[in-house]
């Protein structure tokens, strides 16, 4: 009897214990909890267990009071020492089996035989109720493939088992973003033949868990400015949604900030308390910075034909500087961008006694010669192609030899250039080039020979300056003319100089979404130096980009003036040096070069004054497709310093964009509100890249 009572008592105690605590495990069947570990949230059931913990003893060890619906999750983490960082032009191949591959295995055989044709394919997938998490993230997190908008692609096979699992994946995705009680369900709609199915995924997001407090404690000395940088830099913010992703990202951000300030061996311990029932969370971090390290010696390994100093001069830190992982990574990128190496790996070697970090740079050289071939299409130049042959490290010292050929329906060009880097220090280069060119544009037909010596220097991250000396000989065969004198001039010899300054803070060279560009240029030609004409040509362009939610607001204005002087008159400026506008990158309500004065044959004459501007709103449509609404304005005026406001032309329009790795493919339709006689109101343009 005593044994029976003891067994009964033990059973009741075990039952009570199992209700109070649940160990978080990796399982195919996720469960609901009142609080979840930030590393592995998993929710399916709506009824929460009263309490969970990673270890039954962890609460008593913490020495803290916690209610039965709270859980303390201790997640100590020692920040790993900086591992060797590498960049390679030939990444290792990794086999990845997607859900669609698994589905194909189910539909076919695994012994190499051709799979059977799926009986049901997916015609459409709609996601409803998703606000906190973008649909694109949901699409990327599930195993069911979305149908492609490319009509020629086969619709993906339907597998309801995979779709069922996707509901769990969506819930986990939302839990990782702080929505622990999110729900997901799906509806199916078949066609009459039962060969196509339309899927609707309905998401109930619920209320997010809100962060009440972030406590960061430091063991050891640390400068106040670094503490401030950590506090402002971590993603976790009081009063905002708490998420396991944000918790882990905060740890990573603390590690990065410390590594960038000389603490590559910092240790970080973290702890989070999450209450799902009352929707609040508290986070705590204990940071042990350790000793501060200085940069030591740079050692280059693996180079054969390339001298070590070419690699070493790319380092953006000096010996005895405070160690910074960010600067190490940037140095690595700069070395790789030289184009001389197949791979670049930087190994920090720590001297714990002297607190010095030596840097071993291991490179693998690539072939120094390469050929690139490219092609495209645009409304103005129709089909175009380009071939570029490059010889890197040409006669040593990191210089390059480039020979290129370009051809389209309006321009053909052959150019040879020699580029010498580090001519006046880092981020500078001297370029000598010879160019033979043939033009067949609406304003003129001609051939030109041009030689140039140019110098460019980048400084203070966003600024660059350039200067060039040029000699040009051009033979004009046919051009738009105003006077008999213009008709009689065929040959031009020019010597001129260029100066320019630019400030660019944009975030992307191909498709900017924020930042500004200020660009100025001055060109001068003097008969005293053998040139046929005297003139000064100045331009200034202002561009700005601002992102608001999913939209990008972009604006641009360009002003230019050509001032002849001496014996050179207004109409003596060579036609290939005048301003022109109209086309896909300037005024989209007018054809290429046809904004401004025209001759009796409706050919563009160009002018000595330019004023053009644009305003755009860029917005997403679906996946890689986007739209643009724009308003262009401006004109080209024949005389210098002449900008009659009443002669400005206006053109609103709409456009479509499709994002690619080389920039957006662009289709624009412009409508001229006040066109010139003989110019149709509606213009169509196809090109690559944004208009500006």
- Model confidence over 52-67: pLDDT tens digits? 223 333 333 333 333 3
Does position 91 have pLDDT exceeding 70, yes or no?
no
The DSSP code for 260 is: T
- Model confidence over 538-562: pLDDT tens digits? 999 999 999 998 899 999 999 999 9
Split at pLDDT 50, 70, 90, the class of 461 is: confident
Question: Could you name the CATH architecture of 103-108+117-204?
Answer: Roll (3.10)
Cross-strand bridge partners of residue 635: 611
Place of tokens 């040139």: 531
Residues 6+ apart with CB under 8 A from 60: none
CA angle 296/297/298 to nearest 5° reads 125
Mean pLDDT in residue range 224-249? 95
**Among the listed residues 187, 120, 105, the one whose alpha carbon sits nearest the alpha carbon of residue 155:** 120
Cross-strand bridge partners of residue 185: 202
CATH number of 294-365: 3.10.20.310
Distance CA 317, CA 573 (A): 50
300 to 284, 345, 362: CA distances (angstroms): 42, 10, 6
Mean pLDDT in residue range 145-165? 90
Split at pLDDT 50, 70, 90, the class of 254 is: very high
Split at pLDDT 50, 70, 90, the class of 1 is: very low
Distance CA 233, CA 253 (A): 7
Rg (CA), the chain: 33
Tell whether domain 458-688 is in CATH 2.40.160.50. Answer: yes
Tell me what the pLDDT averaged over the chain comes to.
85
Q: Kindly report, as residue ranges, where domains of CATH 2.40.160.50 are found in the chain.
A: 458-688
Does position 31 have pLDDT exceeding 70, yes or no?
no
Q: What is the dihedral of CA 480, 483, 486, 488, to 10 degrees?
A: 110
Q: For residues 358 and 299, is the Cβ–Cβ distance under 8 A?
A: yes
**Among the listed residues 33, 280, 46, the one whose alpha carbon sits nearest the alpha carbon of residue 182:** 46
Structure tokens at 675: 């066109």
Distance CA 327, CA 20 (A): 50
Does position 410 have pLDDT exceeding 60, yes or no?
yes
130 to 30, 137, 477: CA distances (angstroms): 22, 10, 63
Q: What H or E segment, with its residue span, contains residue 167?
A: helix 160-176
Phi first, then psi: give them for residue 625, nearest 5 degrees: -95, 140
Does position 29 have pLDDT exceeding 60, yes or no?
no
Q: Kindly report, as residue ranges, where domains of CATH 3.10.20.310 are found in the chain.
A: 103-108+117-204, 294-365
Helix (H, G, I), strand (E, B) or coil at 244: helix
Q: For residues 627 and 557, is the Cβ–Cβ distance under 8 A?
A: no
Distance CA 199, CA 589 (A): 43
β-pair type (369-378, 400-408): unpaired
Distance CA 190, CA 198 (A): 6
Does position 7 have pLDDT exceeding 90, yes or no?
no
Burial class of 536 by CB neighbour count within 10 A (0 to 12, 13 to 18, 19+): middle
The DSSP string of 637-664 is ESSTT---GGG-EEEEEEEEEE--TT--
Per-residue pLDDT at 661 = 85
Q: For residues 591 and 645, is the Cβ–Cβ distance under 8 A?
A: no
Cross-strand bridge partners of residue 416: 403, 434
The DSSP code for 233 is: H
Per-residue pLDDT at 152 = 82
Q: For residues 365 and 343, is the Cβ–Cβ distance under 8 A?
A: no
The larger pLDDT score, comparing residue 444 to residue 111, is at: 444
The DSSP code for 425 is: B
The DSSP code for 151 is: T
Helix extents (H) in 185-300: 224-233, 244-259
Distance CA 414, CA 597 (A): 31
Structure tokens at 128: 């409803």
Per-residue pLDDT at 113 = 56
Q: How many residues does the chain have?
A: 692
Q: For residues 262 and 323, is the Cβ–Cβ distance under 8 A?
A: yes
**Among the listed residues 34, 275, 32, 42, the one whose alpha carbon sits nearest the alpha carbon of residue 170:** 42
Place of tokens 């390339």: 306
Number of Cβ within 10 Å of residue 13's Cβ equals 10
Distance CA 502, CA 524 (A): 18
Distance CA 199, CA 540 (A): 53
Structure tokens at 474: 């051009």
- Model confidence over 280-318: pLDDT tens digits? 999 999 999 999 999 999 999 999 999 999 999 999 999
Residues 6+ apart with CB under 8 A from 243: 176, 177, 178, 209
Per-residue pLDDT at 33 = 34
Q: From start to end of 505-550, where are the E strands?
A: 515-525, 535-548
Phi first, then psi: give them for residue 81, nearest 5 degrees: -65, 155
CB half-sphere exposure, 578, CA atoms < 13 A: 29
Residues 6+ apart with CB under 8 A from 547: 513, 514, 553
Distance CA 289, CA 219 (A): 7
Per-residue pLDDT at 112 = 52
39-48, 66-75, 331-340, 495-504 — which is least confidently predicted? Answer: 39-48
**Among the listed residues 360, 356, 346, 328, the one whose alpha carbon sits nearest the alpha carbon of residue 256:** 328
- Model confidence over 589-600: pLDDT tens digits? 999 999 999 988
Place of tokens 């917005």: 619
45-54, 517-526, 538-547, 617-626 — which is least confidently predicted? Answer: 45-54
> Helix and strand tally (H, E) in the chain?
10, 27
- Model confidence over 634-674: pLDDT tens digits? 999 999 999 999 999 999 999 999 998 888 999 999 999 99
Q: In what order do the strands lie in the sheet with 183-190?
A: 121-128, 196-204, 183-190
The DSSP string of 350-376 is EETTTTEEEEEEEEEE--SEEEEEEEE
Phi first, then psi: give them for residue 62, nearest 5 degrees: -70, -25
- Model confidence over 189-204: pLDDT tens digits? 999 999 999 999 999 9
């Amino acid at each position: 009897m005593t044994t029976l009572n003891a067994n009964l008592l033990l059973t009741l105690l075990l039952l009570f214990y199992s209700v109070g605590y649940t160990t978080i495990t990796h399982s195919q069947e996720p469960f609901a909890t009142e609080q979840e570990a930030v590393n592995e949230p998993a929710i399916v059931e709506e009824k929460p267990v009263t309490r969970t913990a990673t270890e039954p003893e962890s609460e008593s060890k913490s020495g803290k009071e916690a209610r039965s619906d709270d859980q303390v999750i201790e997640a100590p983490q020692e920040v790993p020492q900086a591992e060797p960082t590498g960049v390679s032009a030939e990444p290792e191949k990794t086999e990845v089996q997607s859900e669609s591959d698994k589905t194909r295995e189910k539909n076919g055989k695994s012994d190499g035989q051709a799979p059977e044709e799926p009986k049901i394919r997916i015609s459409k997938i709609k996601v409803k109720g998703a606000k906190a998490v973008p649909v694109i993230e949901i699409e990327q997190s599930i195993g069911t493939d979305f149908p492609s908008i490319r009509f020629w692609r086969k619709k993906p096979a339907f597998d309801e088992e995979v779709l069922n699992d996707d509901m769990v994946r969506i819930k986990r995705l939302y839990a990782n973003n702080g929505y622990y009680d999110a729900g997901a369900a799906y509806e199916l709609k078949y066609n009459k033949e039962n060969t196509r199915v339309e899927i609707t995924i309905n998401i109930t997001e619920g209320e997010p868990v809100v962060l009440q407090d972030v406590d960061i404690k430091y063991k050891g000395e640390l400068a106040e400015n670094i503490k401030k940088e950590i506090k402002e830099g971590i993603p976790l913010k009081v009063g905002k949604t708490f998420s396991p992703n944000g918790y882990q990202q905060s740890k990573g951000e603390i590690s990065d900030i410390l590594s960038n300030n000389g603490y590559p061996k910092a240790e970080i311990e973290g702890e989070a308390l999450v209450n799902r029932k009352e929707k609040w969370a508290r986070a705590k971090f204990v940071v042990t910075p350790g000793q501060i390290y200085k940069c030591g010696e740079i050692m280059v390994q693996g180079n054969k034909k390339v001298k070590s100093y070419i690699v070493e001069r790319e380092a953006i830190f000096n010996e005895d500087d405070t160690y910074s992982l960010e600067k190490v990574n940037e140095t690595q990128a700069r070395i790789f961008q030289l184009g001389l190496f197949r791979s670049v790996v930087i190994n920090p070697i720590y001297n714990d006694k002297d607190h010095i970090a030596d840097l071993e740079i291991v490179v693998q050289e690539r072939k120094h010669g390469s050929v690139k071939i490219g092609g495209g299409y645009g409304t103005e130049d129709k089909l175009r192609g380009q071939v570029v042959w490059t010889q890197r490290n040409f006669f040593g010292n990191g210089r390059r030899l480039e020979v290129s050929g370009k051809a389209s329906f309006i321009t053909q060009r052959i150019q040879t250039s020699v580029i010498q880097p580090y001519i006046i220090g880092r981020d500078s280069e001297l370029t000598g080039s010879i160019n033979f060119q043939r033009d067949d544009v609406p304003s003129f037909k001609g051939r030109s020979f041009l030689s140039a010596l140019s110098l460019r220097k980048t400084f203070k991250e966003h600024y660059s300056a350039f200067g060039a000396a040029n000699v040009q000989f051009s033979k004009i065969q046919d051009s738009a003319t105003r006077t008999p004198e213009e008709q009689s001039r065929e040959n031009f010899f020019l010597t001129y100089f260029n100066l320019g300054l630019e400030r660019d803070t944009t975030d992307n060279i191909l498709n900017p979404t924020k930042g500004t560009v200020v660009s100025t240029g001055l060109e001068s030609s003097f008969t005293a130096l053998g040139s046929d004409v005297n003139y000064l040509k100045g331009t200034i362009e202002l561009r700005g980009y601002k992102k608001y939610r999913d939209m990008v607001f972009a604006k641009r204005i360009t002003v230019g003036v050509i001032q002849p002087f001496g014996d050179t008159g207004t109409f003596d400026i060579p036609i290939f040096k005048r301003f022109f506008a109209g086309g896909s990158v300037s005024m989209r309500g007018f054809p290429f070069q046809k904004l401004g004065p025209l001759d009796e044959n409706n050919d563009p004459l160009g002018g000595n004054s330019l004023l053009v501007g644009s305003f755009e709103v860029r917005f997403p449509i679906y996946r890689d497709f986007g739209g643009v609404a724009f308003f262009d304005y401006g004109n080209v005026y024949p005389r210098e310093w002449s900008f009659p406001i009443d002669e400005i032309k206006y053109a609103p329009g709409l456009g479509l964009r499709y994002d690619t790795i080389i920039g957006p493919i662009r289709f624009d339709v412009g409508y001229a509100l006040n066109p010139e006689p003989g110019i149709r109101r509606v213009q169509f343009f196809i090109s690559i890249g944004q208009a500006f």
